Amino acid sequence: MNQTGYISMISKFKIDKDIGPVALEILQLFAYNDSLSAYDIFSNLKSTRQKTAYKNVHKKVQRLKSMQLIEQKQVHNAEHGAKYYGLSEYGIYQLFLKRRGALTFRLVDENKAIFVGKDFIKHHSNNALFEAFLYRYFDRKTVSTANYDLIIQFFLYLHDCCKEIETLLNYSKKGMGSIPAIVEKFKWNYVGPGPEDQAVKSSLKEIFDVEGLDLDNAEIKKINNITLQVTTPHKACILIKLDPKRKKAVATLHKFKRKKEYGYDLYERGDELSICTRTTAEELNNKEIKIELPIYRILSDLTKSDDEPEEDTLKILANDDKFMKLVDNMHDTFDKGYNKLLKLRMS
């Protein structure tokens, strides 16, 4: 499932009432297990401050089910015909949105917390949120074998994704869908070739919806500092040229049935150039959201940390082919820019 599909799926869940802290406390118990019965939850709560009568636990479980946060699971040989429930996709979304801390640490008493991030991945790694936002950049094996440092990074990134999605959905719910919005499509500094090449292709596919264009297999390269060339296997050519004076980037489709043009907006953020489109909050519900890629965040944190990263953290990342391909592209892009600046400085 891609990002667009995930946002569309989450938007279909309709909750009229706030979930509330008590319901969330019970919901997070499902994060540490594949499935639970109402009696399992009752037993879990007996030694905590949330201790309550079984009939109250049963009511709360039924409320979570009615809110589509959990769903019934088939469990063979269930004692006394007990019904078992597990997290739904919407339940996972709400936990990352509102209970990220509880997905990484569980408070066992007032003075002690244990790390439970691995438990969540063990029981819930095959979910749509991971598919749309995490497995695009990391192999599944990397996620399943992630250590403490990587899990903290992954979960923080997914929390940010869910916050961004919630903002978009709230615009729509409040009738603010017509408010203008600027959407970053790709970073100019990281293309031709670079880690943002796929974002270029996705954007051009939206703009030039032409049958047989085959942008998925196109070659992307920079001709100069202001021109990006995208060439398809059928020799169709798209040129994207920067126009800093007008703060525009114009994409022109050549040699394919007929000439077509599209004007992006150009935004400068320090040394980085962002290629953006104008849309509305309502239209954003059907488009991919743009969040800082986890690869940038992780590499940045590895260099900023006062302590050397653990060797097993680096080894896990180094053995991830998908991750390392992105790193290689970033490194090549940085070297090209650095060498150009160095030549100018030395001349």
**Partners of 112 in the β-ladder:** 109
Distance in angstroms (rounded) separating the CA atoms of residues 232 and 208: 13
Distance in angstroms (rounded) separating the CA atoms of residues 20 and 270: 42
Residues 6 or more apart whose CB falls under 8 angstroms from that of 186 comprise 196, 199, 200, 203, 274, 275
**How would you list the strands of the sheet with 227-231, edge to edge?**
180-187, 272-280, 260-269, 248-254, 237-243, 227-231, 219-224
**Partners of 37 in the β-ladder:** 84
pLDDT for position 16? 58
Shortest CA distance to 89 belongs to which of 8, 174, 17? 8
pLDDT for position 13? 86
Distance in angstroms (rounded) separating the CA atoms of residues 66 and 288: 29
pLDDT for position 284? 55
Count of CB atoms within 10 A of residue 27's CB?
A: 24
Tokens of 185: 């499509």
pLDDT for position 93? 96
Per-residue pLDDT of the chain (347 residues; tens, 9 = 90+): 777 788 889 988 876 567 777 788 889 999 999 999 988 888 887 766 667 788 888 898 999 999 999 999 987 776 767 899 999 999 999 999 998 888 888 877 677 788 889 999 999 999 999 998 899 889 999 999 999 889 998 998 899 889 888 887 876 666 555 556 677 888 898 888 877 888 899 889 888 877 778 888 899 999 998 999 999 888 889 999 999 999 999 999 986 566 789 999 998 877 789 999 877 655 655 555 555 566 677 777 665 555 666 678 888 888 998 888 878 877 777 787 788 888 888 87
pLDDT for position 155? 92
Count of CB atoms within 10 A of residue 14's CB?
A: 8
Distance in angstroms (rounded) separating the CA atoms of residues 73 and 6: 22
Tokens of 20: 């509330």
Domain 3-173 in this protein, CATH class: mainly alpha
pLDDT for position 285? 52
pLDDT for position 337? 76
Q: What is the 3-state secondary structure (H, E, C) of 209-252?
A: CCCCCCHHHCEEEEEECCEEEEECCCCCEEEEEEECCCCEEEEE
